[in-house]
A = this chain, B = another copy of it.
C-alpha cells in the first residue's frame, strides 16, 4: 500500500517507538535515531528536523487509513469497523497504546497553535472519518448494517471513540472502558443487523 522506501518505513516505525517512549515533549532526532536500525546520518539526509519527521509520520498515518475497502476482496465491514474503532479507543489500553495516544493529544494541543500541524491532523481526522464512513456505506450496501447515514454515523463514532480516549488516557482508565462498552452497545442496537 505504501510507496515508501524501506528506510522511510523504518524511520516511521522509529518515530512511533520514540513517541511511545518519550512522548511529544521528549521527542528529538536523537530519541528517534535510538530506535532507528540504520545510521543517524540517514535520518538527517531524509528529514530536516524533528518537525519534518513528525509531519511525515502524520502523513504516514493518513495513508494507512486511505487504504481501499473492498467486500469482494473478503473485507468484512463489521470486523473492519471494529478494528478501526480499536485504532482510536481499544478495549484494552496497554501502556504503549496509552503512551502513543497521549503523544497524539500533545500533538493535537500543539496543532491549536501551529497551522502546519493543524493541517496534518485535519487530514488525519478526515482520513479516519472517511474510512469509517466508507466501511459503513459498504456494510449498508451489503445488508450487514441497517440503512443509516454513513457520514453522520461516522461523525458520531469518531467523536464517541475520541472523547472516551481523551479522558481515558489522561485521567481515569475506566472512562475508556465504559465508553467503549457504550459504543459497542450502540453498534449492536443501531447498526448491526
Q: Which residues of A contact B (CB under 8 A)?
A: 23, 98, 102, 105-106, 108-109, 111-113, 118, 121-122, 125-126, 152, 155-156, 158-167, 169-172, 175, 178-179, 182-183, 185-186
Q: Which one of B112, B161, B183 lies within 8 Å of A169 (CB-CB)? A: B112
Also in contact, A166 and B169, with CB within 8 A (given A105-B112, A112-B102, A186-B156): no
Q: How many angstroms between the C-alpha atoms of A171 and B155 in the bound complex? A: 15
Which residues of the other chain, B, contact A161 by a CB distance below 8 angstroms? 159, 163
CB < 8 Å neighbour of A108 from B125, B159, B171: B171
Which residues of B lie under 8 Å from residue A106 when comparing CB positions?
A: 109
Collect the chain B residues with CB atoms within 8 Å of residue A170's CB. Answer: 108-109, 111-112, 118, 121
Contacts of A159 in B (CB 8 A): 159-164, 167, 179, 182-183
* A171 in contact with B102 given A109-B109, A164-B159 (CB within 8 Å): no
Q: Is the interface of A mostly helix, strand, loop or mixed?
A: helix
Chain B residues near A121 (CB-CB < 8 A): 167, 170-171
Shortest distance between the CB of A91 and any CB in chain B (Å): 15
Q: How far is the CB of A52 from chain B (nearest CB, A)?
A: 20
Q: How far is the CB of A28 from chain B (nearest CB, A)?
A: 17
Q: Once bound together, how far apart are the Cα atoms of A39 and B183, in whole Å?
A: 50
Of the candidates A102, A113, A175, the one having the most CB atoms from chain B within 10 angstroms of its own CB is: A175
Cα distance A156–B158 in the bound complex, in angstroms: 12
Closest 10 CB pairs of A and B: A163-B163, A159-B163, A162-B163, A122-B171, A102-B112, A108-B170, A159-B164, A159-B179, A122-B172, A111-B170
CA distance A159 to B179 in the complex (A): 7
A178 touches B166 (CB 8 A): no
Contact in complex: A125, B155 (CB < 8 Å): no
